């Protein structure tokens, strides 16, 4: 199915619905519930209960549970893809671009934490999930190409395979969803610094 865009959905003509929620708010509450109890285990009735709406009122906002999932996954993926299209990811040396991509990915993860959390739990159980996994793979390939470019330029060590290095670095980045909570003592710029410090420069003093 085609990727849906949350922003264009939000700027579409308003649909009938109960006052009190716009589409973005319904999506936010749905994603929180999916993360709490699992997407597959969440019914439209559960979601209506959480929102205090009838099922038919909820269907005024969205066509299906799967549409909510598609919008939520697009929110995460379009954020990550956007990082690769930013000027900082396209200018400078390969190592500088990799540095920028890592910082950008941490920023997206912090800014869109519930959406990225949902994305990371997707296992490919439906066409929507498989399409999201395909976009994740395409993102990974673009990052791997950057790692390999930095290796070819002698800026990044070449004794680790590019795809393995990419998986290790994003393993570190993605693990943030397990413990990072916005509003705590570590802000996203600090966190981006720490990730780059560990992954690119290493913990050991030079």
Q: Please answer whether residues 128 and 73 qualify as being in contact, where contact means their C-beta atoms are separated by less than 8 angstroms.
A: yes
- Could you give the CA distance from residue 158 to residue 138 in angstroms, rounded to a whole number? 22
Mask of contacts with a copy of itself, 103-142, x by CB under 8 A? ----------------------------------------
CB atoms within 10 A of CB 27: 24
Determine if residue 157 is left, alpha or beta; phi over 0 gives left, psi from -120 to 50 gives alpha, anything else beta: beta
Q: Phi/psi at 182 (nearest 5 deg)?
A: -55, 145
Q: Which stretch binds a copy of itself (CB under 8 A): 25-33, 49-57, 128-136, 146-154?
A: 146-154
Binder of a copy of itself out of 8, 13, 19, 159 (CB under 8 A): 159
Contact between 167 and a copy of itself (CB under 8 A)? Answer: yes
Which one of 20-28, 57-65, 81-89, 188-196 is the stretch in contact with a copy of itself (CB under 8 A)?
188-196
Closest by Cα among 200, 193, 196, 188 to 107: 188
In the complex, what is the shortest distance from the CB of residue 192 to a copy of itself, in angstroms, rounded to a whole number? 12
DSSP helix/strand/coil, 53: coil
Instruction: Give the nearest distance from C-beta 98 to a copy of itself in angstroms.
Output: 8
Q: Show the binding pattern over residues 34-73: x = contacts a copy of itself (CB under 8 A), - = does not.
A: ----------------------------------------
Residues 6 or more apart from 175 whose CB is under 8 A from it? Answer: none
Token pair of 49 as six digits = 């209960």
Q: 124: phi > 0 → left, psi -120 to 50 → alpha, else beta; which?
A: left
Among residues 33 and 71, whose Cβ is nearest to a copy of itself? 33
The reply on whether position 184 binds a copy of itself by CB under 8 A is no
Q: Residue 68 or 169: which CB sits closer to a copy of itself?
A: 169
Please give the residue ranges that form the binding site for a copy of itself (CB under 8 A). Answer: 95, 98, 147, 150, 154-157, 159-161, 164-165, 167-176, 178-179, 186, 191, 194-195, 197-206
């Amino acid at each position: 199915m085609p990727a849906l865009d949350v922003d264009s959905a939000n700027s579409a003509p308003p649909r009938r619905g109960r006052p009190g929620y716009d589409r973005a708010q319904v999506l936010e509450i749905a994603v929180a519930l999916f993360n709490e109890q699992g997407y597959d285990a969440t019914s439209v009735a559960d979601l209506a209960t959480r929102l205090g709406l009838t099922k038919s009122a909820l269907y005024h906002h969205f066509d299906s549970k799967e549409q909510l999932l598609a919008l939520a996954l697009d929110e995460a993926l379009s954020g990550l893809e956007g990082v690769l299209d930013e000027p900082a990811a396209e200018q400078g040396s390969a190592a500088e671009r990799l540095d920028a991509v890592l910082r950008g990915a941490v920023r997206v993860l912090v800014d869109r934490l519930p959406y990225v959390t949902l994305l990371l739990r997707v296992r490919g159980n439906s066409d929507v999930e498989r399409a999201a996994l395909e976009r994740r793979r395409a993102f990974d390939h673009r990052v791997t190409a950057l790692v390999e470019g930095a290796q070819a330029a002698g800026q990044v060590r070449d004794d680790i395979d590019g795809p393995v290095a990419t998986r290790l670095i994003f393993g570190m980045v993605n693990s943030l969803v397990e413990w990072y909570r916005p509003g705590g003592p570590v802000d996203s710029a600090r966190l981006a610094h720490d990730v780059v410090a560990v992954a690119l420069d290493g913990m050991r003093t030079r």
